[in-house]
Structure 1
Amino acid sequence: MTTNLQGRGHLLTEQVNPDSLNLDQLSSVELVELFNREDAKAVAAVGAAKVQLAQAIERTAECLRNGGRLFYIGAGTSGRLGVLDAAECPPTFCTPPEMVQGIIAGGAGALVRSSEDLEDSAEDGEAAIAQRQITQLDVVVGITAGGTTPFVHGAMSAARQRGATTIFIACVPVEQVECEADIDIRLLTGPEILAGSTRLKAGTVTKLALNTLSTGVMVKLGKVYGNRMVDVAVTNQKLRDRAMRILQDLTGLSREAAGFLLERSGKWVKLALLMHWTGLEKEEGLQLLSQYQGNLRAAVASYKNNEQT
């Protein structure tokens, strides 16, 4: 890493935004309008990093397909966003909790209480990697808006030494802060409306990028059919209703018939669809899905091709 931790004023995320110099004099409507204009830069920044994000999706999907895990690691807002994205994967895609994990400096307590001093220890970042026994099968995504967080750099260095795939996400250009990583994603949103408050645009663009990364990976892993979350975990009434609607929409079944099919499948939408489209029973369907690593479209296509030959 090449950076000056003693002086951060040169960093893009720490600079003063010329468009908000009169922030404390704006009306409430003018405040909202200013935020809206600035937030649009977050969407543009994700578009500018599309090639690197696509590479991250491909590499991560390949690692997870081979039994690896995805780790987000960060401090403060960056760490909280990583933990949030990881926590949302099991209910959305029915992934095991260990497949996607968030690591935040300071642990669980830092999620609800600011612990900024804990980000200054590179050794703690290294220890977090060792504790989780990260290997060459895993992917480690280091998230740091200003790019300089020692906790993240320590973790990235340790992950590289263990042979893991490393992805670096920062909101400053490479010439301001370097990091040795397999994929380097720079989300350049410019100075914040409130100078240095990276929970604003930098936080927004990080959330957008993580949404894109995790969802893209799950699509590649076959956890989506069309644009439906066919691996949704049916763990409450809302999610059961969603599962029922997916089945009804894709099969044309009545709600009663869809409910019966969902129960026969063990409350797994993907398996229920396979059973309906192929006529297979639960155990046979499970075997076919396993053969195609859970990819519903490939499993159905294979079954139909075999029927025709």
Structure 2
Amino acid sequence: MQHWEHSSYEPSLPITEKSNPITRDIDRANPDEIVQMLKNCDAEIFDRTAYLDSMYQKLNSCSMVQTMVEISKKVEIILKDPENSLIVLSGCGTSGRVAFLLATSLNRWLVALHQKQIYSYIIAGGDKALLTSQEAPEDNPSLGALMLDKASTGKKHVLFIGISCGLSAPFVAGQLHFCLNNLDVFTPVLVGFNPVHMARSEPMQDFPFNFKEIAEKMSEMQKHQKAFVLNPAVGPEVITGSSRMKGGTATKLMLETVLLAGHEAVYSNEAVTADNVLASVRMNEKVYETTYSQIDKLAALLQKAGVSLQEKGHVYYLGWQTLGIIGIIDASECIPTYGAAFEDIRGFISKGFSEMNNKEGDLSCVGPRFAIAHTDFVNAILPSLTDKDMVIFLFSVEDDLNEVSELAKRVGQNSSNLHALIHDLEGHCVPKSVIGMFMTALNITWPSSLNKHSSILMKQHWELSTKWCLNAISTGAHILKGKVYRNYMIDLRVTNSKLFRRAIHILQRFTNSTQTQCETALLRSIYDVEELTDEISSADVTQHTLMANQKDRVVPTALVMLQSGCTLAEAKFHLDAHPVIRNAVAAHLRFS
């Protein structure tokens, strides 16, 4: 049994908010050790070990596999009536981005088969949230329900898949509640990674139910196949609470398994069975093994990215097709996770928004954060590129290699810090002349056995592998920069109620202070005051998070104040002198 599975391990926290014992000292690890820790954590997704005294169901457990089979059969029914039916995937943050990627990819596949598109996605905050953090809508259950109602207008049958890794997002809760009140049209599916009894039980703003009550009702209705809860335990995250990592990965591979099984049933006459579902899960496990067989090169890329950030340089992902989307998603998530500047790590895709297929179309006029085409990189970034900046190309053997080579030549004229993540096929590889253009080429050659079913399956495997690699690179780089304290993303931006609560928990954990003391220190840091006014103390969490979104280092500053009893000004002084958070804390303890 994994250490986190014991009932005595951090008992007050759900799995998705627990710290992972594997990574408790990841902030002191070298690049090779970091990648090994990531590998060990991701292995927990596929854990097949069952213990009689464990309260958790794993992805490979009979109950979870059977739930996936039942949902796949609902997908099959929807696909057989495309005129009147719809499959909607929805979520906030990472979950919404995964929903977008799956919906648009599967719609493209249906078009290639000359079939009607039946997938739609919803992300809290709209398409801007694909690239930037839009936290406020995540706390609004009524908005979620309204957006689902609008997306489903005129449809007789809707399979709704609401993704909330922690079973906590009010936006998704509102949508699930709407479905439960309209079961003549909707079949709701809740996807997450906590048991139902660990779902969020706090009241939601202007809403009669909490998330736990909704999840419990769905769990009860699952007995009649009116609703489904798909919530395997995949273990705590590498960086505590960072569901962009394992949560996002498990969501992607699990939903692809479910949805493609339905497609196979309709278009290949392959019945949905438990054996087929398990075979798909195990194929994804092979993708995991193949990806992490490249530990040495992955660690080398991680180290170079860390050096770039430490030297105030940047990391740029230049990708093609959906690999470019994976790069954009990974880069966008570094801002709320690590308090990073948007310039630190950025992603670009070959043809920009015309290749994204997002609902709201070209958003490049909104601002520089939405300039995502390779031409935007060439025009705005390339002229000032130096060797401090790291550039990583993301492509496969099926992309336009002439285009890849031409862009690599142009980038190479300004910086030698040029690298690539390349996907090959057995017997069909990228020429050595192209590989030789890069300082480091993490070149993964995939066996033909993984591609025996369809091209979309192969592309999904490339996406999954690329996600694992980029998550490792960006996470490791921020660890080396000092953005992580033990295995906590302590420099997170406190931009919604979930993150406000998480920040207080982090402060309690590392200072042994009371909840009231931690909240007071956090508010002093957010509002930049030595003493709280009555107006600040009486404001609600929404007001606090709106203010916090404009500030940097609010949690580290509060931590230093609590650990040493110093003033706000003194805490800021030590953090300015010691950007690595653990060093700043140690320095203040030495001088206090």
TM-score range, shorter chain: 0.7 to 0.9
Kindly indicate whether residue 414 of structure 2 is the aligned counterpart of residue 154 of structure 1: no
Q: Secondary structure at the match of 1:228?
A: coil
Distance 1:259 1:77, change over 3 A: same
| 1:251–1:109 Cα change, 3 Å | farther
Give 1:113 deviation, angstroms.
Answer: 5.5
Q: Which residue matches 2:524? A: 264
Q: Deviations over 1:168-212 (max 9, x none)?
A: 001227992232211111234433253433432111111111111
Aligned partner of 1:181 in structure 2 is 438
Matched, 1:208 2:468: yes
Q: Which residue of the partner structure matches residue 52 of structure 1?
A: 297
Cα-to-partner distance string for 1:200-232 (whole Å, 9 max, x where unaligned):
211111111111111111111111111111011
* 1:281 matched residue in structure 2: 567
Amino acid at match of 2:351: G
- What is the Cα deviation at residue 127 of structure 1? 7.0
TM-score, scaled to structure 2? 0.44
Select between 197-206 and 70-79 the one with higher mean Cα deviation: 197-206
Partner of 1:301: 586
Gaps in structure 2 of 5+ consecutive residues: 1-263, 360-372, 527-547, 549-553
The counterpart of 2:288, out of the listed 32, 36, 43, is 43
Cα distance in structure 2, aligned partners of 1:234 and 1:193: 46
C-alpha displacement at 1:79, in angstroms? 0.6
Is 1:232 the counterpart of 2:517? The answer is: no
Gaps of 5+ in 1: 1-21, 115-123
- Structure 1: how far apart are the matches of 2:561 and 2:444? 43
Shift in Å at residue 106 of structure 1? Answer: 1.5
Cα distance in 2 between the residues matched to 1:149 and 1:158: 16
Q: How does 1:124-143 map to 2 (within 5 A)?
A: 125=374, 128-133=377-382, 134-143=385-394
AA aligned to 2:574 is L
One-letter code aligned to 1:205:
S
Q: Distance in 1 between matches of 2:444 and 2:415?
A: 25
SS of the residue corresponding to residue 185 of structure 1 reads strand
Range moving further from structure 2, 23-32 or 178-187? 23-32
Identity %: 24
Q: 1:74 aligns with which of 297, 315, 319?
A: 319
Amino acid at match of 1:74: G
1:87 aligns with 2:332: yes
Residue 285 of structure 1 deviates from its aligned partner by: 1.8
SS in 1 for 2:346: strand
Aligned length in residues: 278
TM-score, normalised to structure 1, is: 0.81
For 1:18, the equivalent position in structure 2 comes to: none
What is the CA–CA distance in structure 1 between the aligned matches of 2:398 and 2:313, rounded to whole Å? 26
- Letter in structure 2 aligned against 1:28: V
2:503 corresponds in structure 1 to 243
Residues 126 and 161 of structure 1, relative CA distance in 2, 3 Å threshold: farther
With 24-33 and 264-273 compared, the bigger mean Cα shift is at: 24-33
1:126 to partner: Cα distance: 7.1
SS in 2 for 1:256: helix
Provide the aligned C-alpha RMSD in A. 2.7
Q: Secondary structure at the match of 2:486?
A: coil
Distance of aligned partners of 1:305 and 1:73 in 2 relative to their CA distance in 1, 3 Å threshold: same
Counterparts of 1:74 and 1:99, CA distance in 2: 17
In structure 2, the partner of 1:28 is: 272
| AA aligned opposite 1:276 | L
Native 8 Å contact 2:513 2:562 kept in 1: no
Q: Relative to 1, partners in 2 of residues 1:187 and 1:282: Cα closer, same or farther, differing over 3 Å?
A: farther
Maintained 8 Å contact 1:140/1:156: no
Q: What is the rounded CA distance, in whole Å, between the counterparts of 2:407 and 2:495 in structure 1?
A: 34
Higher relative contact order, chain-length normalized (CA < 8 Å, sep 6+): 1
Contact 1:143 1:152 in 2 (8 A): no
Tell me, in whole angstroms, the C-alpha distance in 2 between the residues paired with 1:227 and 1:126.
37
Superposed displacement of residue 273, structure 1 = 1.1
Q: Which amino acid aligns with 1:141?
A: I
The one-letter code of the counterpart of 2:515 is R
Name the SS of the counterpart of 1:135 in structure 2: coil
Supply the distance in 2 between the matched residues of 1:222 and 1:36 (Cα, whole angstroms): 35
Q: In structure 1, what is the Cα distance between the partners aligned to 2:412 and 2:375? A: 11
Q: Which amino acid aligns with 2:288?
A: V
How many angstroms apart in 2 are the aligned matches of 1:173 and 1:189?
Answer: 5
Asked if 1 retains the 8 angstrom alpha-carbon contact of 2:397 and 2:429, the reply is no
2:422 corresponds to: 170
* 1:4-31, Cα deviation, whole Å (9 max, x unpaired): xxxxxxxxxxxxxxxxxx9935322243
Where 1:288 maps in the other structure, the secondary structure is helix
Q: Which AA in structure 2 matches 1:196?
A: S
Q: Which residue in 1 is equivalent to 2:97?
A: none
Matches of 1:231 and 1:64, distance apart in 2: 15
Kept in 1: contact 2:349–2:374 (CA 8 A): no
Equivalent residue of 2:424, what SS?
coil
Question: What corresponds to 1:13 in structure 2?
Answer: none
Tell me which structure has the larger Cα radius of gyration: 2
Residue aligned with 2:459, SS: coil
With over 3 angstroms needed to count, the CA separation of the structure-2 counterparts of 1:48 and 1:296, relative to structure 1, is same
Partner residue in 1 for 2:87: none
Task: Give the partner amino acid of 1:131.
Answer: A
Checking the alignment, whether the CA contact within 8 Å between 2:352 and 2:374 is kept in structure 1 is no
CA 1:301–1:162: 2 relative to 1, 3 Å: same
